[in-house]
Amino acid sequence: MASTASRPLTRRTHILVDTLVIDVRREADGRAVLTPRGELVHGCAGILSRALAGVSPGSPRIDLDMARVTFMDTAALQFLDTLDAYGRRHAVPVTATGWTGQPRRILELAGLDTTDPLNPAERPARPRSTPPVSSMVAAERTEQLLLLRQELDQLREALTTRPVIDQARGILMAAHGCTSRQAWDILREVSQRSNTKLRAVAAMITTGTQPDAPPPPEEIRTALRVAIESRRL
C-alpha cells in the first residue's frame, strides 16, 4: 500500500461567476494555491472572497498564480485589496505573481510592481554615472506610455458603461465564435479606426440587432469588417 505521506494533498474547488473561475488547490506543505482564470472585472472581489472562504484555516500561506488572467479593469484593484486584507486579517503571507499580457501592462501604468503588487521589491537607485537614455528609446517609451494611458481611459469608460459593452461583446461572440477578450479587442479597434467612443460603437452594434433598426454608419461597418477579418474570425 502506498504511503499517503508521499501523495500531494490536493483539493480543487471551482467557483464560476461570469468570466472568472478560481481553482483552489492545497499543496502537500499546507499552502493554498489559487489559480484565477478569465477576467478581473466587476464582481471579481466577491468571487475571490468565496474562494478564500474555502481555504483551510491552517494554511501557512496563500499564493495566487495570475498567469491565466487575460484581462482586467480597475475592479482588479478591489480584488488585490481583498486578498491583502485576508492576509492581514489571518496573519498569513499572500502573493499574486505570474502577471502577463494586458493585466501586466495595467499594473505598469498604475505604478504597481508587476512581479507581485502586494509585495513590491525595492528598486535599486540608479547610479549617477549612468549615461542618459538615448532620445530614440525615450521617444519609444513616451509612445508606449501614451498608448497605455489611452487603454486605461478606455477601461475606465468601459467600467461606467459596462452593460451596453457587455451586450455588444456577447453579440460579437455569438456571431463570430470569438472569445470575450477578442470581442473586446474588436470593439476597441473599431473605436480607434472610426474615431468613435467605445460606448457609442457598442450601442450601435447592439441596436443594429433589433428588428427594423437602421444599420450602423458606413465607417463603423467598415472598421468592424476590418477588425474581424484581421483576426480571421
- What pLDDT is recorded for position 208? 82
Same domain, 102 and 167: no
State the pLDDT confidence band at 21, using cuts at 50, 70 and 90: very high
Is 78 domain-assigned? yes
Angle between helices 162-176 and 135-160 (to 10 degrees): 100
Q: Does residue 31 sit within a domain?
A: yes
CB-count exposure of residue 86 (10 Å: 0-12, 13-18, 19+) = middle
Same domain for 171 and 96: no
Classify burial at 73, counting beta carbons within 10 Å of its beta carbon; exposed 0-12, middle 13-18, buried 19 or more. buried
105 & 191 share domain: no
> Contact at 8 Å (CB) between 206 and 172?
no
Residue 59 lies in a domain: yes
Q: Is residue 118 part of a domain?
A: no
Of residues 108 and 193, the one with the higher pLDDT is 193
Report if residue 32 sits inside a domain. Answer: yes
At 67, is the pLDDT very low, low, confident or very high (cuts 50, 70, 90)?
very high
Asked whether residue 103 carries a pLDDT value surpassing 80, the answer given is yes
Q: Do the domain assignments include residue 115?
A: no
The whole-number average pLDDT for the span 120-130 is 55
Based on the domain organization, do 105 and 16 belong to the same domain? Answer: yes
* Per-chain mean pLDDT for the chain: 80
Range of the domain at 71: 9-109
pTM assigned to the model = 0.51
User: In total, how many domains does the chain have?
Assistant: 2
State whether 88 and 169 are in the same domain: no
Same domain, yes or no, for 89 and 166?
no
The answer to whether residues 13 and 75 belong to one domain is yes
In a domain, 150, yes or no: no
Q: Are residues 95 and 13 in the same domain?
A: yes
pLDDT tens string 134-169 = 455 556 656 666 666 666 666 666 555 677 888 888
pLDDT of residue 8: 39
From 94, 109, 124, give the residue that closes a domain. 109
Q: Are residues 99 and 13 in the same domain?
A: yes
Domain match, 35 and 105 both: yes
Which three cell numbers mark 159? 467600467
Considering only residues 92 and 160, tell me which one the structure prediction assigns the higher pLDDT: 92
**CATH code assigned at 23:** 3.30.750.24
In a domain, 134, yes or no: no
Residues 28 and 96 in one domain: yes
Confidence of residue 211 (pLDDT cuts 50, 70, 90): confident
Beta strands in 41-191 (DSSP E): 62-65, 69-72, 94-97
Shared domain for 13 and 96, answered yes or no, is yes
pLDDT reported for residue 17 = 39
Contacts of 26 (CB under 8 A, 6+ apart): 9, 10, 11, 32, 33, 55, 56, 59
